[in-house]
Amino acid sequence: MGRNLDSKCQQCRRVGEKLFLKGERCNTPKCAMVKRNYPPGFHGPTRGRRKLSDYGTQLMEKQKAKKYYNVMEKQFRLTFEKASKKSGDSGKNFLRLLETRLDNVVFRLGFATSRTQARQLVNHGHFDVNGVKTDIASYIVKPGQEISVRVRSRKNPYFKQLSEKLKKAELPGWLNLQAAELKAKVLHEPTDNDLPTNINVQMIIEYYSK
């Protein structure tokens, strides 16, 4: 299945909640979910949201999580299968794997304003993991590893002005950021409290169990 070609705002309106796909704009009155909180399309304002079947609800939750983490179907399914093979709660394992993707970590650290931008920065080779250039967005970071902006990338105007902005970043407890050095360390895996609460992972498990 290919990448969703709907506009980012339409994707949020379709699932009925903010997925923060457009970075800082999502926190302003310009956000489409503030201005047009109804499904996209000609009949959206009058028809409202249709009641979904169990399967439809499970599918919608899976689609929402995919958009939230900016992951395509094949990678999303592979991550789910990997989580299912680990011991413990497969749902929480799944969310932990998604949270520790390099592109998501770059976003969580404030190096990017959206996961889409984070993925682009990673793919363009702007980051090292433990001193080694890493340009794979799906790379899973591990406790003790250090993520840093590459030395040559620090000359880029985007990163030059980033240090001051990073000092105001709100970070999850499993990450430690040194804003002035444009580097961070993974202290431990995300705890249960660090996992997103807006994703009903049980519905995703049920969807893939059919």
**What one-character DSSP code corresponds to residue 140?**
B
Helices (H), 48-101: 54-69, 73-85, 90-99
What would the two tokens of residue 152 be?
Answer: 């040559």
- Quick one: three-class SS letters along 95-115? HHHHHCEHHHHHHHCCCCCCH
**What one-character DSSP code corresponds to residue 177?**
E
Task: Give the H/E segment covering residue 148.
Answer: strand 146-149
- Rg (alpha carbons) of the chain, rounded to whole number: 18
- Region at 37 (left for phi over 0; alpha for psi -120 to 50; beta for the rest): beta
Going residue by residue through the chain, which has 210 residues, state the pLDDT in tens, using 9 for 90 and above: 455 545 666 666 666 666 767 666 656 666 555 666 666 665 556 555 567 899 999 999 999 999 999 999 999 999 999 999 999 999 999 999 999 999 999 999 999 999 999 999 999 999 999 999 999 999 999 999 999 999 999 999 999 999 888 988 889 999 999 999 999 999 999 999 999 999 999 999 999 988
172, 171, 118: which is closest to 149 by C-alpha?
118
DSSP, collapsed to helix, strand or coil, labels residue 185 as strand
